[in-house]
C-alpha cells in the first residue's frame, strides 16, 4: 500500500476530544493535516500517511480555544487601578491612560503581549473590540492567530474616531481590506446601547447586514447600564435593541449579566449569541450572568476573558473552570454547567457564536487544523479518570504543550515560536514606565 502525503501527522494521542455534535472521542489515535486542514482522524492513521510527525503520547487533543470577547491591547493596563469602584477605576485610571497613550504603537505592543499569552494557553481565535484595529490585524498577520476584529464605535470622540459616522466609515474600509482573509475576520463593534444612539446602532447593523459580518456589542453588563437604558428609552436593553432592529443570529452580546426572563426568550427567538465573561464580571463586581438559564432556553453561549485590565489574564482554560464552578455555587446545583458544556463554550459553541462553526470549533475532517495538545504528565493531572473534567477542573493554561493554527505549529514544547518573548517584555516595561508616570506612582 502506498502512503499518502500529509503536511503533519500527530500520532498516538491519548485522548482526542473532537467536540463535534456527537462529542466523538478517540483514544490512542492520530490526526492528519494537509493544506491547513484536518484530513483524517482515528486509530492507525499514521500507517497510511507520510510527513512531519509530532508525538502526541501523554497528551489530550482538543480544538483550538476561542475567546469570544476581549480588548487585547489592554494588556498594557493589566492591574492598573485595580480594587477601586468601577466609576473610580474608569474615570481616574483607565480613561486618562487611554486618552493619553492609545495609538497604533500602543495597540500593536499590547496586542503582541496578548497574542503571546493567548497562544501559550491554547487560544487560537479571539474576538476583539478596541481602537486602531489595523495594528491588531498587523500582529495577526505577523503571528498567524485568528482574530475577529471590531473598532469600538461610540457617540463621543474616541482614540479611533471623532464621530460615530467616522468610526463606521473606517470599519467599512477595514472590512473591504480584509473581507477574504482567513486570519483577520472583520466585524463591526457599536459599544453598547447606553453609549450609542438608536441611529448609530441601526447604521452599524446595516453595515453588518450589507457585508455579512458579526455585530459585536456589550449588552446588560451592569445595573447602571440597565437603569440608564430604561430611563432613556423606557425599555430594558434587550427590548430596546429589539425595537431598534439590531438583534439577529449575527449579533454577539458581550456579558449579558442582567437579562430578564423575557429578554432571554428574545435572545433565543432572535438567535443572538452571548459571550460570557465570568472573571471580569466578578472582579468589577458587575454580577453573575444567568448562563444556565440562557443555555436551557437554547441561547448559544461562548466564553470570553474581557480585557486584562479587568480580569487580569487571557487564560481561557482558567475562565471555563471559573464559569463551571461559579454557576454551581450560584444555583446551588452541582450538575449545572458540567465539564463538557464548559469546554463546549470555549470550542464549538464559541465557533457558533462567531458563525464560524463550519471552519473551527471542533476536530473534524475538512475543518481548519486549529488544535491544542495538553500535557497530562504533571501530578496535578493524575490520576486521570475523565479527560473533560481534568481539563476543566484540574488543568491550567500552562499545561498547553502544542498549538496549531491552520496546521502551522505556533507553540511547541510549551514555547511560543512566532513571537520574541524578550522583545515583548521590553515593550511591556517601556509602557509600564510611561503609564506609571501618569499618576505619579
Cell numbers for 159: 482614540
Over the chain, what is the mean pLDDT?
97
Residue 87: the pLDDT is 81
Percent of the chain with pLDDT over 90: 96
Q: What is the mean pLDDT of residues 297-302?
A: 98
Q: What is the mean pLDDT of residues 151-176?
A: 96
Predicted confidence (pLDDT) at residue 1 exceeds the cutoff of 80: no
Residue 440: the pLDDT is 57
Residue 441: the pLDDT is 52
SS3 readout for 146-199: EEEEEEEECCCCCCCCCCHHHHHHHHHHHHHHHCCCCCEEEEEEECCCCCCCHH
Residue 438: the pLDDT is 79
Residue 439: the pLDDT is 64
CA distance 192 to 189: 9
Give the closest residue to 126 by CA, choosing from 407, 405, 426, 425.
Answer: 405
Cell numbers for 297: 432556553
Predicted confidence (pLDDT) at residue 28 exceeds the cutoff of 70: yes
Residue 160: the pLDDT is 87
| Residue 403 host element (H or E) | strand 400-405
Give the closest residue to 143 by CA, choosing from 420, 425, 426.
Answer: 420
Alpha-helical segments (H) within 260-315: 261-270, 278-283, 291-296
Cell numbers for 117: 499569552
Predicted confidence (pLDDT) at residue 89 exceeds the cutoff of 70: yes
Neighbours of 383 (CB within 10 A): 6
Residue 18: the pLDDT is 98
Helices (H) and strands (E) in the chain, counts: 16, 17
pLDDT tens-digit profile of 30-40? 999 999 999 99
Amino acid at each position: 500500500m502506498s502512503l499518502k502525503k500529509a503536511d503533519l501527522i500527530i500520532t498516538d494521542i491519548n485522548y482526542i476530544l473532537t467536540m463535534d455534535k456527537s462529542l466523538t472521542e478517540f483514544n490512542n489515535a492520530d490526526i492528519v493535516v494537509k493544506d491547513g486542514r484536518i484530513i483524517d482522524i482515528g486509530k492507525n492513521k499514521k500507517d497510511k500517511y507520510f510527513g512531519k510527525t509530532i508525538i502526541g503520547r501523554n497528551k489530550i487533543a482538543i480544538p483550538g480555544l476561542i475567546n469570544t470577547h476581549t480588548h487585547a491591547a489592554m494588556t498594557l493596563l493589566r492591574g492598573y487601578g485595580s480594587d477601586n469602584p468601577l466609576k473610580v477605576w474608569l474615570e481616574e485610571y483607565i480613561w486618562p491612560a487611554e486618552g493619553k497613550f492609545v495609538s497604533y504603537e500602543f495597540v500593536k505592543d499590547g496586542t503582541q503581549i496578548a497574542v503571546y499569552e493567548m497562544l501559550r494557553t491554547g487560544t487560537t481565535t479571539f474576538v476583539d473590540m478596541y481602537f486602531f484595529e489595523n495594528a491588531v490585524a498587523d500582529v495577526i498577520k505577523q503571528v498567524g492567530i485568528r482574530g475577529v476584529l471590531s473598532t469600538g464605535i461610540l457617540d463621543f470622540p474616541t482614540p479611533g474616531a471623532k464621530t460615530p459616522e467616522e468610526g463606521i466609515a473606517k470599519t467599512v474600509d477595514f472590512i473591504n481590506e480584509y473581507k477574504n482573509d482567513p486570519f483577520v475576520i472583520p466585524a463591526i463593534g457599536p459599544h453598547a446601547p447606553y453609549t450609542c444612539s438608536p441611529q448609530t446602532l441601526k447604521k452599524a447593523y446595516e453595515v453588518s447586514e450589507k457585508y455579512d459580518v458579526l455585530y459585536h456589542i456589550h449588552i446588560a453588563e451592569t445595573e447602571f447600564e440597565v437603569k440608564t437604558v430604561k430611563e432613556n428609552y423606557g425599555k430594558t436593553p434587550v427590548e430596546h435593541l429589539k425595537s431598534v432592529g439590531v438583534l439577529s443570529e449575527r449579533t454577539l452580546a458581550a456579558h449579558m449579566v442582567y437579562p430578564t426572563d423575557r429578554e432571554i426568550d428574545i435572545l433565543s427567538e432572535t438567535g443572538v449569541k452571548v459571550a460570557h465573561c465570568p472573571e471580569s464580571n466578578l472582579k468589577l463586581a458587575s454580577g453573575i450572568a444567568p448562563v444556565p438559564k440562557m443555555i436551557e432556553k437554547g441561547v448559544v453561549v461562548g466564553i470570553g476573558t474581557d480585557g486584562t485590565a479587568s480580569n487580569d489574564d487571557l487564560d481561557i482554560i482558567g475562565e471555563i473552570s471559573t464559569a463551571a464552578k461559579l454557576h454551581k455555587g450560584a444555583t446551588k446545583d452541582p450538575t449545572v454547567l458540567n465539564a463538557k458544556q464548559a469546554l463546549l463554550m470555549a470550542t464549538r459553541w464559541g465557533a457558533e457564536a462567531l458563525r464560524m462553526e463550519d471552519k473551527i470549533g471542533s476536530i473534524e475532517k475538512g475543518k481548519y487544523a486549529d488544535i491544542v495538545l495538553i500535557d497530562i504528565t504533571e501530578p496535578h493531572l493524575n490520576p486521570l479518570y475523565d479527560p473533560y473534567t481534568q481539563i476543566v477542573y484540574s488543568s491550567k493554561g500552562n499545561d498547553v504543550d502544542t498549538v496549531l493554527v491552520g496546521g502551522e505549529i505556533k507553540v511547541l514544547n510549551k514555547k511560543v515560536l512566532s513571537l520574541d518573548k524578550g522583545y515583548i517584555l521590553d515593550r511591556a516595561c517601556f509602557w509600564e514606565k510611561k503609564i506609571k508616570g501618569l499618576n505619579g506612582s
